[in-house]
Amino acid sequence: MFKQKKSYKKTFTYIIMLLVFGLVTTVYSLSASAHIMDEESIEEDEGEGVDTIYHVHYGDTFVGFVDDKSDVYEIVDEKVDEINEDEEDLRLTPEEKLQVIPERVFQVKAINDVTTEKLEDMLEIKAEALTFTVDDVEIGYMSAAFDKEDFIRFWALEYVDEDVLEAYEDEEDVELDEGDMKILDMYLSEEVEVEETLVDPAELSTKEELVEAFETGALEESEYEVQEGDVLGSIARQHDLSVKELLDANDDLDEDSSIRVGDTLEVQNESPAVQLVIEVQKKESKDISYDTKTEEDDEMEKGETKVKESGEKGEKIVESKVVLENGSTASTDVIEEEVVSEPEDRVVIKGTKESDELAWPAVGGYISSHQGPRWGRFHKGIDIARPSSPEIRAAESGTVTSARYENGYGNTIRIRHSNGLETLYAHLDSMDVSSGDKVSRGEDIGIMGETGNSTGVHLHFEVYKDGELENPTDYVSK
- Is the same domain home to 317 and 342? yes
pTM of the model: 0.54
Positive or negative torsion for Cα 243, 247, 252, 255 = positive
Domain final position from 89, 123, 157: 123
Residue 163 falls inside a structural domain: no
Domain final position from 353, 385, 402: 353
- Is the same domain home to 322 and 366? no
- Is the same domain home to 399 and 447? yes
CATH of the domain at 324: 2.20.230.10
Residue 348 falls inside a structural domain: yes
Q: How many helices (H) and strands (E) does the chain have?
A: 9, 29
Burial 251-274 (b: 16+ CB within 10 A, else e): eebeeeeeeeeeeebebbeeebbb
Residue 209 falls inside a structural domain: no
Residue 413 falls inside a structural domain: yes
- Is the same domain home to 330 and 438? no
- From first to last of its 478 residues, the chain has per-residue pLDDT tens of 323 333 444 434 433 333 333 333 333 333 333 333 334 334 444 456 688 889 999 999 999 888 888 888 888 888 888 887 666 678 888 989 999 999 888 776 667 889 889 988 999 888 899 999 998 888 889 998 888 999 999 999 999 999 999 999 999 888 899 999 999 999 999 899 999 999 988 888 889 999 988 888 755 567 889 998 888 888 888 877 888 888 888 888 888 888 889 999 888 666 788 999 999 999 999 999 999 999 998 888 766 789 999 999 999 999 999 999 999 999 999 999 999 999 999 999 988 776 678 999 999 999 999 999 998 899 999 999 999 999 999 999 999 999 999 999 999 999 999 778 999 999 999 999 999 999 998 999 999 999 999 989 999 999 999 999 999 999 997 7
- Is the same domain home to 37 and 119? yes
Residue 91 falls inside a structural domain: yes
Domain count, the chain: 4
**Distance in angstroms (rounded) separating the CA atoms of residues 292 and 198:** 67
- Is the same domain home to 35 and 15? yes
Q: 162: part of which helix (H) or strand (E)?
A: helix 162-169
Amino acid of residue 124: E
Containing structural domain, residue 371: 362-474
- Is the same domain home to 369 and 443? yes
